């Protein structure tokens, strides 16, 4: 166990939900196995249902991050010792008494304050009441033994549109300061996404050509082969624009195009630059057909709503109104039930009239790496030109290197209090501002195109 961290209790609201089971609990198990959690650590899951630990863990692939996917009995027994479940309805104030009692008993026994991390793995619609109850009940503050820090971790989307995001920010700030709020964007915690700033800042050959003199187009895509995987209620109320574009894709766009801060380890400087570039970003135009909106053909049947108009695919174009990026189209694209999983940033190096494009691809997943297409002469007597790919792959380069899962990174950073990889409130607001014209338009004209499952989308 790591001695450098203060005692911490992580409370996961919605522990029996999809996200906790698929991502959060496996990440915690893996961190425990690798001795990376604080020496004094407790994990409390809250659930509306009457659920025992055994029942919950039976339905969770706790060891999915292990190479052989098998749990180690010693680690599993340790996990059982630090893990508790409390029955609690997150919108019922009275139920929080049990959580309060749990903290008190724990802190009295250990004679120390624990830092409290509240992980809201619950539908965004109930963030607001939960945050209020946490604030008003004093759960986020008091400890008899001195001072423990409290932080909340929230999943995206933060808000449902521009106005609800602003309201939520206002309500949250009543109880939590900005440095206590960790708005998760697990894409930023992916190893390849973190590499973007290093790649841009530490390779002089790219540093000076990262602008519209050399770059003619940027395409950022998060394409998935899976559908909505049993998350019908959540997904149908959200759709692809809110689920992926407002958060993951705009964040990837920001780190791809922002100025590199003098210190890339400074969370404040990173947020400043991200906010700056987002404030200069606009939809290129908004009319019928400029934003492609699709739904895979079996979606309505899958969720049992024959009239659902929720999009599972979206493709749009942005421009950044700065000297550096003027006239460079930025395409954002995401979709479900497509032919392949492919999350990548593709940057075209060429002049406007060039037929030949050096395509630089930052492969976020799968097969993490970076490649560039070059033109080379084919061996032989004639001058035949072909493309060849120069490829850096994580797997081949860092053979046995430890490669933390994005959620492991999210949890460790929140324990440490490092906000570099989380979205700030101004980034959230600006992202909604960029997309709000689309949401407005879709209210009047949803323009949904159905596409075949397993295809390339509409």
Residues contributing to the site for ligand BG6 (CB under 6 A): 224, 243, 343
Task: Please choose, from the candidates 145, 116, 122, 49, the residue with its C-alpha nearest in 3D space to the C-alpha of residue 88.
Answer: 49
Instruction: Report, in Å, the least distance between residue 23 CB and ligand BG6.
Output: 8
Nearest to ligand BG6 of 343, 361 (CB atom): 343
* Active-site annotation holds for 248: yes
Strand-pairing partners, residue 9, are 42, 116
Closest separation between CB of residue 353 and ligand BG6, Å?
Answer: 36
Contact 370, 380 (CB under 8 A): no
* Cβ-based burial of 226 (10 A; exposed 0-12, middle 13-18, buried ≥19): exposed
> Toward ligand BG6, which CB reaches closer, 172 or 334?
334
Residue 63: exposed, middle, or buried by beta-carbon count in 10 A (0-12, 13-18, 19+)? Answer: buried
CB of 349 or CB of 407, closer to ligand BG6: 407
Q: Between 8 and 343, whose beta carbon lies closer to ligand BG6?
A: 343
Of the listed 248, 271, 400, 403, which one is catalytic? 248
Closest CB to ligand BG6 among 113 and 364?
364
| Tokens at 48, concatenated | 């509306």
Which H, E and C letters describe the chain, residue by residue?
CECCCCCEEEEEECCCCHHHHHHHHHHHHHHHHCCCCECCEEEEEEECCCCCHHHHHHCCCCCCCCCCCCCCHHHHHHHHHHEEEEECCCCCHHHHHHHHHHHHHHHHHHCCCCEEEEEECCCHHHHHHHHHHHHHCCCCCCCCCCCCCEEEEECCCCCCCHHHHHHHHHHHHHHCCHHHEEEECCCCCCHHHHHHHHHHHHCHHHHCCCCCCCEEEEEEEEECCCCCCCCHHHHHCCHHHHHHHHHHHHHHHHHHHCCCCCCCCCHHHHHHHHHHHHHCEEECCCCCCCCEEEEECCHHHHHCCCCCCCCCEEEEEEEECCCCCCCCCEEEEEECCECCCEEEEEEEECCCCCCCCEEEEEEEECCCEEEEEEEEECCCCCCCEEEEEEEEEHHHHCCCCCCCCHHHHHHHHHHHCCCCCEECHHHHHHHHHHHHHHHHHHHHCCCEEEECCCECCC
CB atoms within 10 A of CB 315: 20
Residue whose CB is less far from ligand BG6, 236 or 243: 243
Length of the chain: 458
Nearer to ligand BG6, 257 or 343 (CB): 343
Dihedral (Cα; 256, 257, 260, 261), 10-degree rounding = -100
In the complex, minimum distance from the CB of residue 159 to ligand BG6, in angstroms, rounded to a whole number: 15
The closest residue (CB) to ligand BG6 is 243
In the bound complex, what is the minimum distance in angstroms from residue 243's beta carbon to ligand BG6? 5
Q: How far is the CB of 204 from ligand BG6 (least distance, A)?
A: 31
Give the nearest distance from C-beta 388 to ligand BG6 in angstroms: 29
- Spatial separation of the C-alpha atoms in residues 75 and 97, rounded to whole Å: 31
Of residues 224 and 333, the one with the C-beta less far from ligand BG6: 224
Task: Give whichever of 243 and 413 is closer to ligand BG6, judged by the CB atom.
Answer: 243
Q: Which residues are catalytic?
A: 248
């Amino acid at each position: 166990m790591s001695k450098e961290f203060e005692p911490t209790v992580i409370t996961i609201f919605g522990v029996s939900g999809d996200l906790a089971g698929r991502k959060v609990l496996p990440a915690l198990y893996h961190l425990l196995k690798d001795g990376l959690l604080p020496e004094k650590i407790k994990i409390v899951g809250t659930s509306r249902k009457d659920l025992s630990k055994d029942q919950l863990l039976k339905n969770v692939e706790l060891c999915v991050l292990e190479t052989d996917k098998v749990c180690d009995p010693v680690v599993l027994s340790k996990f059982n010792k630090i893990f508790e479940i409390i029955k609690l309805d997150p919108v019922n104030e009275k139920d929080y008494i049990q959580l309060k009692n749990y903290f008190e008993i724990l802190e009295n026994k250990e004679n120390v304050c624990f830092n409290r991390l509240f992980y809201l793995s619950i539908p965004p619609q109930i963030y607001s009441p939960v945050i209020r109850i946490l604030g008003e009940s004093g759960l986020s503050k008091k400890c008899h033994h001195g001072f423990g820090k409290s932080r909340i971790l929230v999943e995206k989307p933060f808000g449902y549109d521009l106005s609800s995001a602003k309201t939520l920010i206002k309500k949250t700030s009543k109880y939590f300061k900005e440095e206590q709020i960790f708005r998760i964007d697990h894409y930023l915690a992916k190893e390849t996404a973190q590499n973007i700033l290093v790649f841009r800042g530490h390779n002089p050959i790219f540093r000076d050509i990262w602008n519209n003199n050399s770059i003619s187009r940027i395409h950022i895509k998060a394409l998935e082969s899976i559908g909505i995987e049993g998350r019908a209620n959540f997904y149908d109320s959200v759709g692809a624009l809110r689920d992926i574009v407002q958060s993951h894709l705009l964040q990837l766009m920001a780190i791809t195009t922002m100025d590199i801060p003098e210190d890339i380890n400074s969370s404040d400087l990173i947020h400043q630059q991200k906010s700056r570039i987002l404030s200069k970003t606009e939809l290129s135009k908004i009319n019928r057909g400029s934003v492609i909106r699709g739904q895979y053909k079996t979606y309505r049947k899958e969720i049992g709503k024959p009239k659902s108009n929720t999009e599972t695919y979206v493709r749009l174009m942005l421009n950044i109104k700065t000297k550096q990026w003027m006239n460079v189209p930025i395409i954002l694209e995401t979709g479900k039930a497509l032919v392949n999983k492919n999350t990548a940033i593709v940057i075209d190096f060429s002049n406007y009239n060039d037929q030949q494009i050096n395509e630089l691809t930052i492969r976020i997943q799968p097969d993490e790496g970076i490649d560039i297409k070059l033109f080379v002469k084919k061996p032989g007597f004639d001058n035949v030109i072909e493309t060849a790919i120069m490829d850096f792959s994580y797997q081949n380069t860092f053979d046995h290197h430890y490669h933390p899962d994005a959620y492991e990174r999210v949890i460790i950073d929140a324990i440490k209090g490092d906000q570099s990889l989380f979205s700030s409130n101004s980034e959230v607001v600006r992202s909604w501002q960029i997309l709000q014209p689309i949401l407005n338009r879709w209210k009047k004209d949803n323009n949904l195109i159905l596409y075949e499952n397993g295809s390339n989308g509409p």
